Amino acid sequence: MTLSSRWRHCAGRLAWPAILTGALSSGCSLVGGNSAYQVQIPVLHAQPLSVPCVLESGEKAQCTALLESDYEAIVRELKTACLALRGTPTDCQTE
C-alpha cells in the first residue's frame, strides 16, 4: 500500500474524535438553520487500529486505520447531516 493510499484511510488518533465531536455538536451547520434530521452515529464493524504513519510532508504521526466500510458510513452520515442542516453541496463536500 502506498503512502498516499494508506493516508487516505488513516486519520490522526486525536483528530477523528475532535472532528466527529465538532461536526456532530455543530451539526455541520455551515449555512445555519434547524432540521428535524437526527444524526445516526454508525456502529463500527471492526475496532480502529492505531498505527504509526508518515504524512506527505515527511512528518511522523500516529494514525487510525478504519475498516473502509466503517469510514464510508461515518463520512456519509456527516455529509447527510450537513446537507440536512442546509449546508451547500460544496460546503458538505458532496460534489
Average pLDDT (43-69) is 96
Q: Are 63 and 49 in contact (CB under 8 A)?
A: no
- Model pTM score: 0.59
Is 81 within 8 Å of 29 (Cβ atoms)? no
Closest CA to 11 of 63, 46, 62, 50: 63
Res. 8 pLDDT band, cuts 50 70 90: very low
Which pLDDT does position 30 carry in this prediction? 47
CA distance 38 to 42: 12
Which is nearest to 70 in space by CA: 46, 37, 36, 35?
Answer: 46
Encoded amino acid at 85, one letter: L
